[in-house]
């Protein structure tokens, strides 16, 4: 699992695409700070019923063009995560694309574990276009 709560400190390779799937790690515009971007996992899309573990919260269904994103950091409590649990549903138009590769350092890098559908679509791109050395140079700059 990638700690997506600190993701933009890493070197990411993003496939700009409106075609994202539940389970994909995505880059999105920060709903609270429009000049910033977040990296989160897409966990639900329109039509999904959202049910809280807090009995005070009423279940609801995501509306057309809405999605739910979550930070993956087991150390954070839900209210600290800066994801849909704090800011609510996100508009699909705020999704920039799917993250397909992560570079932490020259020796610590690899594919991002996305949905089965996303990974199938990403494989040809990574096989043809990925240049880890060039990515590492860009990341250092």
Nearest Cα neighbor of 29 from 69, 79, 76 is 69
Residue 36: other Cβ atoms inside 10 A: 10
The tokens describing 27, both together, are 């880059």
Our measurement of the distance from residue 115's CA atom to the centroid of its chain's CA atoms, rounded to an integer in Å, reads 11
Q: Identify the three-state secondary structure at position 89.
A: coil
Could you tell me which CATH class the domain 4-140 is placed in?
A: mainly beta
**What is the arithmetic mean of pLDDT over 120-131?**
82
- The pLDDT assigned to 7 comes to 47
Mean residue pLDDT of the chain comes to 83
How would residue 132 be classed by pLDDT, with cut points 50, 70 and 90? low
Q: What is the arithmetic mean of pLDDT over 79-106?
A: 88
* Number of other residues whose CB lies within 10 A of the CB of residue 97: 18
Whole-angstrom Cα distance, residue 78 to residue 86? 8
Tokens of 88: 């609510």
The residue among 35, 109, 23 whose CA lies nearest residue 69 is: 23
Q: Which band of pLDDT confidence, cut at 50, 70 and 90, is reported for residue 5?
A: very low
Asked if pLDDT for residue 32 goes beyond 60, the answer is: yes
Structure tokens at 81: 């995560």
pLDDT digits (tens, 9 = 90+) for 56-90: 989 999 999 999 999 988 787 777 789 999 999 99
Neighbours of 28 (CB within 10 A): 22
Question: What is the structure's pLDDT at 17?
Answer: 64
In this predicted structure, what is the pLDDT of residue 125? 82
**Single pTM value for the model:** 0.81
Domain positions in the chain are 4-140
């Amino acid at each position: 699992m990638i700690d997506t709560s600190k993701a933009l400190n890493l070197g990411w390779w993003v496939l700009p695409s409106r075609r994202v799937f539940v389970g994909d790690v995505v880059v999105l515009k920060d709903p609270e700070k429009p000049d910033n971007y977040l990296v989160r996992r897409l966990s639900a899309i329109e039509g999904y019923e959202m049910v809280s573990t807090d009995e005070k919260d009423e279940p609801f269904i995501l509306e057309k063009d809405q999605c739910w994103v979550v930070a993956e950091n087991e150390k954070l409590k839900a209210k600290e995560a800066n994801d849909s649990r704090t800011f609510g549903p996100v508009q699909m138009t705020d999704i920039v694309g799917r993250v397909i590769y992560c570079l932490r350092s020259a020796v610590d890098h690899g594919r991002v574990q996305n949905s089965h559908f996303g990974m199938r679509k990403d494989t040809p791109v990574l096989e043809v276009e990925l240049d880890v050395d060039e990515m590492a140079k860009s990341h250092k700059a």
